[in-house]
Structure 1
Amino acid sequence: MYVLQLGLIGLSIALIPLLYVKTKGNRNKFRKLAWVAVFFTFDLIMFGSFTRLTDSGLGCPDWPGCYATATPFLAHSEIRAAETALPTGPVTFTKAWIEMIHRYFAMAIGVLIITLMVLAWVKRKELKQSPWLPTGAFLLVCLQGAFGAWTVTMKLQPIIVTTHLLLALTLLGVLTWLASRQEIVVPDGTLLRWRWFALGGLVLLAMQIALGGWVSTNYAVLACTHFPKCRGDWIPPMDFAHGFKLWRALGRTAGGEIIPMDALVAIHWVHRTFAFVVIPYLTWLGVRLRRVTALRKTATLLLLMLLAQLLTGLGNILLKWPLPIAVAHTGGAAFMLLLLVMLNYHIVTAGRLARAQTRQHSPQADSLGNAGSRSV
């Protein structure tokens, strides 16, 4: 019964953006809904970061509800007992509400994606686009829900939490690509020369995000509290074997012992060092793409977000990981991913359209067309 109540809560939240799209004076409502889904997914990623950084991931230690109820209100006695037994533990009323709000909005996004998928299949002739991309987004959100459950049942195991974050960012990328498909792109064959450079930037950013997720889920941000050196050295003592052992409990080695500080230093140092690869590359890419009129706005935003990301990263280190800056750092990474997906889509699509136009107007195509008209 409580699962049905949870579903109704998620549906009620989803009705707000759905009604907004329905009543908005916009002919292409599918396009509007796709961008709304992107917006809500981005917000959920930031709220998920807030949930993790406030240690609220186990605010309700079961799934999908809270002590087998739909809201913390109904689990009042269980939460009170857990908080009384361990006042500084993972279960409090505040943490329970943070965790459940995160789940409510995740269900609402699921409803939005289901709506997109249904519309894509029903209006596939009108949209003139394959409905398999929104179908893939639906499958992805189902997988994301499974990892959300495992995050709780496996007690915040770092590899599960990191994968949960990466799947959320992948979903954001897929929805951004889907929304970008609804935009008008002017053919431009010259953009294809940037195709592999833009893809390379996306890959490098994805790798850096994965390393950053590993830092966050292992709580290794404060393993190095100075910059540019780490613990007084350019290359401090590090334990890569324990630090990058993927399958282990939070704060433990694979053997169950307390994870050594040198392992946390290794996790932090690799993420910090790889930034010296990613930042120069994306800076170069953004500066070059700003010269292309059609890409100037997106490339400029990428450069601004890159600067903001550098500042929030330094702020996390020098200011001892304050919550607002830590959440902003996650949001900045997600927004940079969104921008790079948009750039990749525009470059690939503009190039393909230009090639298609070239083939249509080639002499061979003209001769075939003339021969066909004569035969008729």
Structure 2
Amino acid sequence: MKNLLQLGAMGLLVAVLALCVVWASKDANKYRKLVWVTLFITFDLIMFGAFTRLTDSGLGCPDWPGCYGHSNPLLAHAHISAAQEAMPTGPVTVAKAWIEMTHRYFAMGVGVLIIGLMVITWRKWFSARNAGVSLKSSVGSQFSRWLPTALFFMVCLQGAFGAWTVTMKLQPIIVTTHLLLGLTLLAMLGWLGASQNHHEPVAPAGRRLILPAGIALLLLVIQIALGGWVSTNYAALACNDFPLCHGALIPQMDFENGFTLWRHLGKTADGDFIPFSALTAIHWTHRTFAFIVIAFVAWLAHKALRVEGLRTTGRLLLIAIGVQLVTGLATIYLNWPLAIAVMHNGGAAFILLMLVMLNYKARLSSRFSAVKP
């Protein structure tokens, strides 16, 4: 119980630091500021989660939620040192323990902030209902109590998968799901943040982008899932040439073992070592599908540039797609450097946010067209 209270105190400290930023802000709408600060920390958490995974620190503390039953690596130093001495390059080292626990502290901080968002919205809703006041403020801006509540349940589910990531020893399907849930959390915060902002009017032509924007978001989610499968199976270097793979357009691949979802890390479903051809199939699929996603999102961004009210989002999407292509190729040609690999993960999260914003704004076009100047 003492260790749990200490862990909770660390998460509360992260949240308090964020709340200090909100309190010191000159923004009169402190709730909106809290939403965007929470989104910013969640984005950073996803980036740091990628760093944790790419440095092979996911088992830096092989238990959960603490580290060898303690609230921080300092108290568990004897256990960590013994594990590191037994296996110097193994999953447990002092550095990896600190990376893993820092990730957990920030995750708990995000959880506290989301609980704060939920409590604030429900209190305001009850106060407004008793006063007979509507919380809808203007076109494109509303005060919803359901989305923060959904965020609370989502962060609880994300925490459960974070625990299973450790207790199930980095099983690929669990780690990939953990990644997807984290990005879903980010997308939901992005939608909540967009609902709190005042947006410039979107031309009626934006209505024509509602369906393409939804399709682009779906394609990106599939691509992120494929990228997560590459990362969790350590298949990033399965093809080290481009545009060919092992000198062939379609190399020898084992899709059956590569895309068997329920299996242990580095193993087939039968418990044998996973063949290299399976890793090749994982990498090649992610690489090939990337061109479909890039082409469609680039086309969508080009269309958005022609619509008043969507031009900034379209411009940012084009830039992000270009950077993502460069970082993806750099991971191949430069032999998977850590900094660029983390940037590639962050780029996917940023594109996701931009597509969420584009979907939100495209849906505003019909509402704005109904409002007289």
State if a TM-score over 0.5 links the two structures. yes
Aligned partner (choices 129, 144, 154) of residue 130 of structure 1: 144
Q: In the aligned structure 1, how far is the partner of 2:35 from the partner of 2:364?
A: 18
Q: How does 1:112-127 map to 2 (within 5 A)?
A: 112-124=113-125, 125=128, 127=135
Counterpart residue number, 1:175: 189
What residue identity is the alignment partner of 1:156?
A: L
Q: How far off is 1:354 after superposition?
A: 2.9
Q: How far off is 1:27 after superposition?
A: 1.3
Q: How far off is 1:294 after superposition?
A: 1.1
Q: How far off is 1:130 after superposition?
A: 2.6
Q: In the aligned structure 1, how far is the partner of 2:151 from the partner of 2:368?
A: 25
Counterpart residue number, 1:372: none
Higher mean C-alpha deviation, range 284-293 or range 86-95: 284-293
- Gap regions ≥5 residues in structure 1: 362-376
What residue identity is the alignment partner of 1:96?
A: A
What residue identity is the alignment partner of 1:313?
A: G
Counterpart residue number, 2:295: 280
Q: How much is the aligned-residue C-alpha RMSD, in angstroms?
A: 1.3
What residue identity is the alignment partner of 1:222?
A: L
Q: In the aligned structure 1, how far is the partner of 2:277 from the partner of 2:65?
A: 36
Q: How does 1:132-211 map to 2 (within 5 A)?
A: 132-185=146-199, 186=201, 188-211=203-226
Counterpart residue number, 1:309: 324
Q: Does the CA-based 8 Å contact 2:180-2:225 persist in structure 1? A: yes
What residue identity is the alignment partner of 1:329?
A: H
What residue identity is the alignment partner of 2:189?
A: L
What residue identity is the alignment partner of 1:144?
A: Q
Q: How far off is 1:123 after superposition?
A: 1.4
Counterpart residue number, 1:230: 245
Secondary structure in 2 aligned to 1:266?
Answer: helix
Counterpart residue number, 1:322: 337
Q: How far off is 1:87 after superposition?
A: 0.8
Q: Does the CA-based 8 Å contact 2:114-2:152 persist in structure 1? A: yes
Secondary structure in 2 aligned to 1:20?
Answer: helix
Task: Determine which structure has more spread, i.e. the larger CA radius of gyration.
Answer: 1
Q: How does 1:30-179 map to 2 (within 5 A)?
A: 30-124=31-125, 125=128, 127-128=135-136, 129-179=143-193
What residue identity is the alignment partner of 1:289?
A: A
Q: Does the CA-based 8 Å contact 2:202-2:308 persist in structure 1? A: no
Residue 286 of structure 2 corresponds to residue 271 of structure 1:
yes
TM-score by length of 2: 0.94
> Per residue, is there more helix in 1 or in 2?
1
What residue identity is the alignment partner of 1:232?
A: G
Q: 1:66 to 1:105 in 2, by over 3 A?
A: same
Q: How far off is 1:51 after superposition?
A: 0.2
Counterpart residue number, 2:140: none
- Gap regions ≥5 residues in structure 2: 129-133, 137-142
Secondary structure in 1 aligned to 2:350?
Answer: helix
Q: Does the CA-based 8 Å contact 2:238-2:280 persist in structure 1? A: yes
Secondary structure in 1 aligned to 2:309?
Answer: helix
Q: How far off is 1:127 after superposition?
A: 4.0
Q: In the aligned structure 1, how far is the partner of 2:364 from the partner of 2:36?
A: 18
Counterpart residue number, 1:241: 256
Q: Does the CA-based 8 Å contact 2:172-2:233 persist in structure 1? A: yes
Count of aligned positions: 358
Q: Does the CA-based 8 Å contact 1:120-1:127 persist in structure 2? A: no
Q: Does the CA-based 8 Å contact 2:256-2:278 persist in structure 1? A: yes
Q: How does 1:342-361 map to 2 (within 5 A)?
A: 342-355=357-370, 357=371
Secondary structure in 1 aligned to 2:289?
Answer: helix
Q: Does the CA-based 8 Å contact 1:230-1:236 persist in structure 2? A: yes
Q: How far off is 1:187 after superposition?
A: 5.8
Secondary structure in 2 aligned to 1:248?
Answer: coil
Q: Does the CA-based 8 Å contact 1:190-1:351 persist in structure 2? A: no
Q: In the aligned structure 2, how far is the partner of 1:54 from the partner of 1:221?
A: 13
What residue identity is the alignment partner of 2:285?
A: V
Q: In the aligned structure 1, how far is the partner of 2:291 from the partner of 2:225?
A: 16
What residue identity is the alignment partner of 1:83?
A: Q
Higher mean C-alpha deviation, range 117-126 or range 75-84: 117-126
1:105-150 CA-to-partner distances (Å, cap 9, x unmatched) read 0000011111111111111337433301000001000000000000
Q: How far off is 1:353 after superposition?
A: 4.2
What residue identity is the alignment partner of 1:20?
A: V
Q: Does the CA-based 8 Å contact 1:187-1:352 persist in structure 2? A: no
Q: In the aligned structure 2, how far is the partner of 1:73 from the partner of 1:187?
A: 54
Aligned partner (choices 255, 258, 261) of residue 276 of structure 2: 261
Q: In the aligned structure 2, how far is the partner of 1:91 from the partner of 1:70?
A: 16
Counterpart residue number, 2:267: 252
Q: In the aligned structure 2, how far is the partner of 1:122 from the partner of 1:329?
A: 40
Q: How far off is 1:188 after superposition?
A: 4.1
Counterpart residue number, 1:339: 354
Q: In the aligned structure 2, how far is the partner of 1:331 from the partner of 1:354?
A: 35
